[in-house]
């Protein structure tokens, strides 16, 4: 029997990027806010001291900062006629755990989506005509436009101290930036990071091929920075232990280094760590959330009543909690009805590994940061004419030097034996002169009728709750897109003077053992029609108006960029709607 | 009115009742601080084998020296401590599949669905090393793996890799896959874990370890970084009395 705690105005489920942002904004509006986080409290200086944080085995290989699959995991299958089996150890993506969420261990690649990404179906149908899209592709418009959320992108970037070169300032194209980006209202708060050798070679070769290369927008600081909340960050030292690791330098944008120190000082905010929300509770009508039930580490069950519930866990946990709480109609791919679980997507990535002459090239791959490097955006979204190619979507491509950590990044030429004297010799010869971009081809994944999340009929978590079941495979559209992009990307490395270029195309079937970003998206998507979306343009549940669902679970499909910039912007956008619209007149904000 | 004794008893019950909450805490007003909240790194101490029997250890030292053979400039897997590394790992959480999802049913799926074996890494090594020993003794006139010539050792490992040698009751190729993951990890992980002795793996490729700050070198393009590596435990020449 759950013990009942004193009621709060707002309960936040999950204290990562979006939970921290909404918590700050609502506490700032004077509401009494509590955040409940499944994992432990984490703080930059105590949890990741530079003296032992750079431990590749502990953090990269043994997954120290992530959720333990024994706490909960997912089941997976490629096709609806297969039996899904549990993911026993993480592979394709890394579910976060603890305060800060994925913001602790990301690379801090901080992008905006293209204006056309937000009106994708309308845009593509207008440009290419109805019938160009595959029949089972279920992409949608978001219900919000780039112009509407631009101010919130700006707020997130100034919170983070994002380092970059503007390419489009209020419509004026700026040399050296990304000419394809949507208009931004002001420059990035900080200049780009200094570029390592390989990135400058990439930029030169890309320019010669007619592209417009630019430094990747990064949350690894190019200089000391104080954000609008008064929180200070220090310059990145290029330690090369960024993604999978926490930053003890206060040099990487994360909730810990940008917002939590300001949030925690608000007297009307508190957080509970090591407590897992198991259910969002509804009243008898089923149309109003009354709060949440959670379990502490001792197995005790507690009820936290609240007037407003913010669901801000990792993508697939948002979807799972909605399903387990009976909120919204579960998606049924056979009947093509229901909403919770539909339009689930990931990212279509691939890489090109290049081998240069060791006598002429020394890249020092370990001098690295999560987002340091140079990219081109000619083949992202609808930046090029897809008419002749027979696919839609695309991605950015970049020589992003994330690490030279030797367990992970010791590339050898194809054909080298996997062990023995020849392998050892090849590792030694190529370590300094091979390039294996930490981010290479970073392509979109669009949504399909048979890629979705529901509850598994067999496997359970430690509380006996059904695991979420992922049904996911690559479709031809993404495979064609990836081949086209990977070929284009490889041409740049040829032009840089590589003696051997190896293309690692992404191929079907989707493989849950191969890491391909943690950018799971969708499953509780935003939109304009309650029959095809779970939440409205303000991230408010269509079914339970005092519930808002933040994060990438709301993306109707995934674009060819990293999602954090967009989910941060949408969190500010939703918080603004709650402050300025919902609190004045609590109820459904959109009459659909 | 509550008397002192009653208060102490109820307080004791309250404290006892909330010990289960010691890890779940409420945070407000200030950033919580405690020393090493994320637990200090564990130091793989030198000394006797902790997981392997002496027979298993002899086989493992021979195996790691074939996966990464010595050459005139760089030690092989054995002298770099790869078998010690794997020994300490198998004794620890990795060996018992700590933190992984271990609930059944266990069903063989597709390659894309990932490993589904109920065997822990410790069990996989124990059973596989026994099976390898049995195989070698049957094929090579009673000799164990470590007693074979380097050529025969390589030949045996290649056949396991190719699936031409099967073990009774355990997946030989699965064992080889574990070796191809675990041995290089022992060669390249921080020496605090028992392998990469004297940072031999890092010196071989020019990886500087945990130096952390390369602001002086980021724009020195195409110039080899000149400084030797540093590990979590420092460097031998910094603390010669401990060497």
If we measure between CA atoms, which residue out of A552, A19, A67 comes closest to residue A11? Answer: A19
| pLDDT value for B44 | 76
| Contact between residue A485 and residue A395 where contact means Cβ atoms under 8 Å apart | yes
Q: A214-215 and A373-376: which strand pairing? A: antiparallel
Q: Which residue has the tokens 């909960």?
A: A72
Distance from CA of A202 to the nearest CA of B (A): 13
pLDDT of A245 > 60? The answer is yes
Task: Please give the residue of chain B at the shortest CA–CA distance from A464.
Answer: B103
pLDDT of A164 > 70? The answer is yes
Interface of A with B in 503-532 (CB under 8 A): 509-513
- List the single range of A414-418, A563-567, B15-19, B103-107 with lowest mean pLDDT: B15-19
Band of pLDDT at residue B239, cut at 50, 70 and 90: low
List the end-to-end C-alpha distance of chain A, in Å, as a whole number: 39
Q: A179-206 burial by CB neighbour count: b if 16+ within 10 A, else e? A: ebbbbbeeebbbebbbbbbbbbbbbebb
Q: B122-142 burial by CB neighbour count: b if 16+ within 10 A, else e? A: bbbbbbbbbbbbebbeeeeee
- Judged by a CB distance cut-off of 8 A, whether residue B17 touches chain A is no
Task: Please give the residue of chain A at the shortest CA–CA distance from B230.
Answer: A51
Interface of B with A in 53-72 (CB under 8 A): 66-69, 71
Interface of B with A in 165-204 (CB under 8 A): 180, 183-185, 188-190, 192-193, 201-202, 204
Q: DSSP labels for A104-161?
A: HHS--B-----GGGGGHHHHHHHHH-TTSS-TTB-----SS-HHHHHHHHHHHHHHHT
Structure tokens at A206: 């890309």
Backbone torsions φ then ψ of A340, nearest 5 degrees: -75, 115
Q: DSSP labels for B37-76?
A: TT-PPPP---SS-SSS-HHHHHHHHHHHHHHS---SSS--
CATH class, domain A3-582, is alpha beta
Task: Please give the residue of chain A at the shortest CA–CA distance from B191.
Answer: A55
Structure tokens at A182: 């949507």
pLDDT digits (tens, 9 = 90+) for B73-90: 999 999 999 999 999 999
B160 contacts on A by Cβ (under 8 Å):
none
Is A519 part of the annotated catalytic residue set?
A: yes
If we measure between CA atoms, which residue out of A95, A570, A90 comes closest to residue A315? Answer: A95
Q: Which of A105, A442, A475, A519 is catalytic?
A: A519
* DSSP H stretches of helix in A244-296: 255-258, 260-263
Fill in the DSSP letter of residue A445.
B
Total-model pTM: 0.95
Contact A362 B184 (CB under 8 A): no
Q: What's the ipTM? A: 0.95
Question: How far is it, in rounded angstroms, from Cα A339 to Cα A541?
Answer: 11
pLDDT digits (tens, 9 = 90+) for A368-389: 999 999 999 999 999 999 999 9
Q: Is B63 exposed, middle or buried (0-12, 13-18, 19+ CB in 10 A)?
A: buried
| pLDDT value for B235 | 85
Collapse the DSSP code of A35 into the 3-class scheme (helix H, G, I; strand E, B; otherwise coil) and give the result.
Answer: strand
Q: DSSP labels for B149-217?
A: -HHHHHHHHHHHHHT-S-BTTB-HHHHHHHHHHHHHHHHHS-GGGS-SGGGHHHHHHT--BS----TTT
Contact B23 A407 (CB under 8 A): no
Band of pLDDT at residue A16, cut at 50, 70 and 90: very high
| pLDDT value for A291 | 98
B193 contacts on A by Cβ (under 8 Å):
57
Contact B100 A88 (CB under 8 A): yes
Collapse the DSSP code of A352 into the 3-class scheme (helix H, G, I; strand E, B; otherwise coil) and give the result.
Answer: strand
Collapse the DSSP code of A407 into the 3-class scheme (helix H, G, I; strand E, B; otherwise coil) and give the result.
Answer: coil
Question: How far is it, in rounded angstroms, from Cα A398 to Cα A135?
Answer: 32
Q: DSSP labels for A500-548?
A: EEEEE---SSP-TTS---S--B-SS-B-S-TTT-SB-TTSBBSS-TTEE
| Contact between residue A150 and residue A119 where contact means Cβ atoms under 8 Å apart | no
Nearest to A62 among B94, B105, B184 (CB): B94
- Judged by a CB distance cut-off of 8 A, whether residue B20 touches chain A is yes
pLDDT of B150 > 90? The answer is yes
| pLDDT value for B1 | 41
Collapse the DSSP code of B222 into the 3-class scheme (helix H, G, I; strand E, B; otherwise coil) and give the result.
Answer: coil
Distance from CA of A494 to the nearest CA of B (A): 18
Q: How many inter-chain contacts (A to B, CB under 8 Å) are there? A: 240
| pLDDT value for A82 | 98
pLDDT of A591 > 50? The answer is yes
Contact A46 B21 (CB under 8 A): no
B68 contacts on A by Cβ (under 8 Å):
419, 423-424
- Judged by a CB distance cut-off of 8 A, whether residue A40 touches chain B is yes
Contact B37 A47 (CB under 8 A): yes
Contact B74 A428 (CB under 8 A): yes
- List the single range of A237-241, A437-441, A522-526, A551-555 with lowest mean pLDDT: A437-441
Structure tokens at B191: 């020496």
Band of pLDDT at residue B38, cut at 50, 70 and 90: low
- Judged by a CB distance cut-off of 8 A, whether residue A272 touches chain B is yes
Mean pLDDT of B147-168: 97
- Judged by a CB distance cut-off of 8 A, whether residue B116 touches chain A is yes
Contact A83 B100 (CB under 8 A): no
Contact A420 B208 (CB under 8 A): no
- Judged by a CB distance cut-off of 8 A, whether residue A119 touches chain B is no
| Contact between residue A84 and residue A77 where contact means Cβ atoms under 8 Å apart | yes
| pLDDT value for A96 | 96
| pLDDT value for B16 | 40
Task: Please give the residue of chain A at the shortest CA–CA distance from B40.
Answer: A52
What is the separation of C-alpha A363 from the centre of its chain, rounded to a whole number of angstroms?
28
pLDDT of A318 > 70? The answer is yes
Handedness of CA B112, B117, B120, B125 (dihedral sign): negative
If we measure between CA atoms, which residue out of A446, A346, A339, A336 comes closest to residue A76? Answer: A346
Contact B100 A91 (CB under 8 A): no
> For chain A, what are the domain ranges?
3-582
Structure tokens at B197: 């002795």
> A367, A408, A513: which to substitute to probe chain B, counting the most B Cβ within 10 Å?
A367
Contact A513 B208 (CB under 8 A): no
Fill in the DSSP letter of residue B237.
G
Question: How far is it, in rounded angstroms, from Cα A568 to Cα A20?
Answer: 10
Angle subtended by helix axes B82-91 and B121-139, to nearest 10: 130
Mean pLDDT of chain A: 97
Contact B109 A83 (CB under 8 A): yes
| Contact between residue B135 and residue B161 where contact means Cβ atoms under 8 Å apart | no
| Contact between residue B77 and residue B183 where contact means Cβ atoms under 8 Å apart | yes
Structure tokens at A507: 């191929």
Nearest to B103 among A54, A418, A459 (CB): A459
Distance from CA of B90 to the nearest CA of A (A): 13
- Judged by a CB distance cut-off of 8 A, whether residue A245 touches chain B is no
- Judged by a CB distance cut-off of 8 A, whether residue B101 touches chain A is yes
Contact B99 A272 (CB under 8 A): no
Helix or strand run (H / E) with residue B88: helix B82-91
Band of pLDDT at residue B20, cut at 50, 70 and 90: very low
pLDDT of B243 > 80? The answer is no
Question: How far is it, in rounded angstroms, from Cα A579 to Cα A586?
Answer: 10
Interface of A with B in 408-437 (CB under 8 A): 410, 418-421, 423-425, 427-428, 431-432
Distance from CA of A133 to the nearest CA of B (A): 28
Q: Is A169 exposed, middle or buried (0-12, 13-18, 19+ CB in 10 A)?
A: middle
Mean pLDDT of B130-134: 98
Contact B190 A200 (CB under 8 A): no
Helix or strand run (H / E) with residue A64: none
Task: Please give the residue of chain A at the shortest CA–CA distance from B204.
Answer: A428
Mean pLDDT of A222-235: 98
pLDDT of B6 > 50? The answer is no
If we measure between CA atoms, which residue out of B101, B83, B160 comes closest to residue B128? Answer: B160
Please tell me the number of Cα atoms within 13 Å of A509 on its side-chain side: 17
Contact A46 B34 (CB under 8 A): yes
If we measure between CA atoms, which residue out of B76, B33, B26 comes closest to residue A15? Answer: B26
pLDDT digits (tens, 9 = 90+) for A114-146: 999 999 999 999 999 989 999 999 999 999 999
Q: Is A308 exposed, middle or buried (0-12, 13-18, 19+ CB in 10 A)?
A: buried
Contact A78 B112 (CB under 8 A): yes
Task: Please give the residue of chain A at the shortest CA–CA distance from B189.
Answer: A57
pLDDT of B36 > 90? The answer is no
pLDDT of B195 > 70? The answer is yes
The Cα-based distances of A260 to A9, A24, A228, A244 in angstroms read: 20, 8, 13, 20
Nearest to A367 among B105, B210, B217 (CB): B217
Mean pLDDT of B146-153: 97
């Amino acid at each position: 029997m759950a013990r009942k705690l004193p009621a709060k105005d707002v309960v936040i489920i999950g204290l990562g990027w979006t939970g921290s942002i909404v918590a700050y904004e609502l506490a700032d509006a004077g509401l009494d806010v509590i955040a409940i986080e499944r994992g432990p409290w984490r703080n930059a200086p105590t949890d990741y001291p530079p003296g032992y944080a750079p431990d590749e085995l502990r953090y990269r290989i043994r997954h120290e900062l992530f959720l333990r699959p024994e706490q909960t995991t997912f089941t997976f299958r490629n096709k609806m006629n297969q039996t899904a089996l549990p993911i026993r150890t993480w592979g394709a993506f890394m579910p976060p755990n603890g305060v800060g969420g994925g913001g602790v261990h990301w690379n801090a690649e901080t992008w905006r989506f293209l204006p056309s990404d937000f009106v994708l179906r309308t845009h593509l149908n207008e440009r290419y005509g109805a019938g160009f899209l595959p029949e089972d592709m279920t992409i949608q418009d978001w219900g919000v436009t780039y112009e509407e959320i631009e101010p919130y992108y700006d707020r997130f970037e100034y919170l983070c101290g994002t380092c970059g070169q503007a390419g489009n300032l209020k419509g004026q194209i700026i040399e050296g930036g990304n000419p394809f980006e949507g208009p931004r209202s002001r420059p990035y708060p900080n200049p780009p990071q200094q570029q390592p050798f390989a990135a400058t070679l990439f930029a030169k070769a890309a320019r010669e091929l007619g592209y417009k290369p630019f430094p990747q927008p990064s949350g690894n600081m190019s200089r000391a920075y104080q954000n609008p909340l008064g929180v200070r960050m220090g310059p990145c030292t290029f330690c090369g232990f960024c993604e999978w690791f926490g930053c003890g330098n206060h040099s990487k944008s994360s909730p810990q280094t940008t917002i939590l120190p300001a949030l925690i000082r608000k007297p009307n905010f508190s957080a509970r760590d090591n407590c897992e929300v198991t259910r969002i509770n509804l009243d008898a009508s089923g149309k109003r959330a009354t709060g949440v039930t959670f379990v502490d580490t001792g197995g005790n069950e507690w009820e936290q009543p609240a007037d407003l519930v913010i669901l801000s866990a990792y993508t697939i946990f948002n979807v799972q909690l909605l399903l387990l709480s009976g909120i919204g109609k579960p998606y049924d791919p056979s009947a093509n009805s229901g909403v919770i679980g539909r339009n689930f997507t990931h990212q279509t990535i691939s890489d090109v590994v290049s081998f240069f002459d060791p006598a002429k090239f020394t890249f020092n791959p370990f001098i690295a940061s999560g987002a340091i490097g140079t990219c081109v955006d000619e083949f992202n979204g609808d930046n090029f004419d897809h008419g002749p190619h027979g696919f839609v979507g695309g991605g950015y491509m970049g020589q992003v030097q994330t690490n030279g950590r030797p367990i992970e990044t010791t590339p050898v030429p194809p054909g080298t034996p996997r062990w023995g004297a020849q392998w050892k010799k090849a590792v030694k010869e190529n370590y300094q002169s091979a390039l294996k971009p930490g981010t290479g081809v970073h392509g979109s994944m669009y949504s399909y009728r048979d890629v979705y999340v529901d509850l598994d009929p067999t496997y359970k978590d430690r509380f006996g709750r059904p695991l979420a079941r992922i049904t996911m495979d690559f479709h031809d559209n993404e495979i064609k897109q990836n081949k086209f992009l990977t070929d284009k990307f490889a041409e740049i490395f040829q032009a840089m003077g590589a003696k051997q270029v190896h293309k690692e195309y992404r191929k079907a079937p989707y493989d849950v053992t191969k890491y391909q970003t943690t950018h799971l998206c969708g499953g509780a998507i935003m939109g304009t029609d309650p029959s095809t979306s779970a939440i409205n343009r303000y991230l408010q549940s269509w079914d339970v108006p005092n519930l808002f669902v933040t994060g990438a679970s709301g993306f109707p499909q995934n674009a060819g960029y990293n999602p954090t910039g967009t989910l941060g912007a949408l969190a500010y956008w939703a918080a603004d709607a709650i402050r300025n619209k919902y609190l004045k007149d609590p109820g459904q904000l959109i009459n659909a | 009115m509550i008397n002192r004794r009653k208060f102490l008893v109820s307080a004791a019950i309250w404290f006892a009742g909330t010990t289960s909450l010691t890890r779940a805490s409420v945070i407000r007003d200030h950033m919580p601080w405690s020393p090493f909240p994320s637990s200090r790194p564990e130091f793989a101490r030198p000394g006797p084998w902790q997981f392997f029997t002496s027979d298993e250890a002899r086989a493992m030292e021979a195996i790691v020296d074939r996966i990464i053979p010595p050459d005139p400039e760089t030690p092989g897997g054995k002298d770099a401590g790869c078998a010690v590394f794997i020994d300490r790992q198998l004794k620890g959480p990795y060996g018992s599949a700590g933190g992984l999802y271990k609930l059944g049913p266990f069903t063989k799926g597709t390659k894309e669905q990932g490993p589904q074996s109920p065997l822990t890494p410790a069990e996989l090594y124990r059973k596989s090393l026994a099976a390898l020993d049995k195989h070698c003794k049957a094929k090579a006139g009673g000799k164990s793996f470590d007693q074979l010539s380097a050529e025969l050792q390589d030949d045996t490992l290649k056949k396991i890799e190719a699936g031409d040698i099967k073990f009774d009751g355990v997946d030989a190729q699965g064992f080889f896959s574990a070796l191809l993951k675990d041995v290089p990890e022992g060669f390249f992980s921080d020496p605090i874990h028992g392998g990469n002795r004297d940072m031999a793996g890092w010196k071989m490729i020019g990886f500087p370890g945990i130096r952390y700050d390369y602001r002086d070198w980021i724009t020195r393009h195409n110039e080899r970084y000149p400084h030797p590596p540093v590990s979590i435990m420092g460097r031998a020449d910094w603390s010669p009395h401990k060497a």
